[in-house]
Amino acid sequence: MKTIVLASNNKHKISEFKEMLPDFKVLALKDVGFFEDIVEDGTTFLENSLIKARAITKFLNEKGKKALVIADDSGLCVNSLNGEPGVYSARYAGEHGNNVENRAKLLKKLKNKADRSAYFVCLLTVMNPDGTYSYVEGKTFGHITPEERGNTSFCYDCLFYSDELKKTFGEATDDEKNSVSHRGRAIKMLIEKGLLN
């Protein structure tokens, strides 16, 4: 079974990758002993994804470990807010990973907006031990609901109403969400293009 190191310790994200890549051994950063903070100071999803992929690949090479690295940078883009929160989705309200505050800020900024259309983006970079890489981008479209619906544990899922599922991601099962999600589509592209071979 081929090993992939995912540039993340996010339990939810790791479980999604494991579900969608059952033929691979998916390792988190903690599994390979990487505990450093990576400064994601890029202005695009691709830049941030590459920053993570390069840092992990360098670390693995220095340890004499050869593995394929996947780095994911993803976020929510709201059209009437000029693409906000975008690359700042995880730290929209200031503190990284404060989902409650991030959602509160988003709802406040959309209070008087008629256009609540939005989309999620997932940029996946696959990096080989020699530093060569490929990337794919997955998107899924919908709009932001005026109130939270369903499971509130993961990012903006309870506010994102999927055009295809006709419910929020927070109300969807894992299988339903994975079938149309930005991450699900990006992973599918990786497989279809043979980038994990």
pLDDT in tens, 57-75: 999 999 999 899 999 999 9
Instruction: Kindly give, in sequence order, each residue whose CB lies less than 8 Å from that of residue 132, ignoring residues fewer than 6 positions away.
Output: none
In this prediction, residue 13 carries a pLDDT of 86
Phi-psi region at 157: left, alpha or beta (left = phi > 0; alpha = psi -120 to 50)? alpha
Confidence category of residue 43, pLDDT binned at 50, 70, 90: very high
In this prediction, residue 11 carries a pLDDT of 86
The model's pLDDT over 163-179, given as tens digits with 9 standing for 90+, comes to 999 999 999 998 999 99
Catalytic pick among 23, 73, 130, 174: 73
All domains of the chain, ordered by start, with CATH? 2-192 (3.90.950.10)
Instruction: Please provide the average confidence, as pLDDT, over all residues in the chain.
Output: 94
* Residue 73 annotated among the catalytic residues of the structure: yes
The model's pLDDT over 71-94, given as tens digits with 9 standing for 90+, comes to 999 999 999 999 999 999 999 998
The model's pLDDT over 132-151, given as tens digits with 9 standing for 90+, comes to 999 999 999 999 999 999 99
Q: Using alpha carbons, list the distances in angstroms from residue 14 to 4, 8, 31, 64, 118.
A: 11, 7, 12, 24, 24
What is the rounded average pLDDT of the residues 16-32?
A: 93
Q: Which of 193, 145, 133 is nearest to 170 (CA)?
A: 145
In this prediction, residue 9 carries a pLDDT of 87
What is the rounded average pLDDT of the residues 181-196?
A: 94
End-to-end Cα spacing for the chain: 11
User: Of all residues in the chain, what percent carry a pLDDT higher than 70?
Assistant: 100
Query: Does 197 have pLDDT greater than 90?
Result: no
Strand partners, 161: 143, 168
The model's pLDDT over 95-120, given as tens digits with 9 standing for 90+, comes to 888 999 999 999 999 999 999 999 99
